[in-house]
């Protein structure tokens, strides 16, 4: 059997924030996340479970994952969701959702 890959080494306290704040919010929607890479100040992750492949996954990634992490860890240059969705589909979903949630 192959060796399990080790999770990336994260800054002190980051995994605690993920476990205590981010994961419970994702799990409330039947989802979770897997950290795939941390390099050069950029954290990459995949949404899993109910959040994986959801058309509003980009919003979840921005508001539930990225916002609390960048607020607490200013050294992060970016927090990026690795998606299985086509970039054009993501752009279209962003446009539709921004119009739907625009102030009237």
Among 22, 83, 89, smallest CA distance to 47 is for: 83
Among 77, 27, 82, 29, smallest CA distance to 58 is for: 82
DSSP secondary structure code for residue 30 in this structure: T
pTM of the model: 0.70
Query: How much of the chain, in percent, has pLDDT values that exceed 90?
Result: 48
Question: What is the per-residue pLDDT for 84?
Answer: 60
Question: What is the per-residue pLDDT for 66?
Answer: 95
Among 34, 29, 8, smallest CA distance to 19 is for: 34
Please give the domain boundaries of the chain with CATH numbers for all domains. 14-100 (3.30.300.130)
Report the DSSP pairing between strands 42-49 and 31-39: antiparallel
What is the pLDDT of the chain when averaged over all its residues?
83
Question: What is the per-residue pLDDT for 1?
Answer: 42
The mean per-residue pLDDT over the stretch 89-93 comes to 71
Question: What is the per-residue pLDDT for 32?
Answer: 94
> 95 or 74, which is more confident?
74
């Amino acid at each position: 059997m192959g060796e399990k890959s080790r999770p990336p080494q994260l800054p002190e306290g980051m995994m605690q924030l993920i476990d205590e704040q981010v994961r419970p919010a994702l799990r409330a929607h039947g989802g979770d996340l897997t950290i795939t890479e941390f390099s050069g100040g950029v954290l990459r992750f995949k949404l899993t479970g109910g959040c994986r492949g959801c058309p509003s996954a980009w919003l979840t990634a921005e508001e539930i994952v990225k916002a609390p992490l960048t607020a607490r860890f200013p050294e992060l240059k970016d927090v990026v969701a690795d998606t299985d969705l086509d970039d054009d589909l993501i752009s279209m979903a962003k446009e539709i959702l921004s119009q739907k949630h625009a102030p009237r």
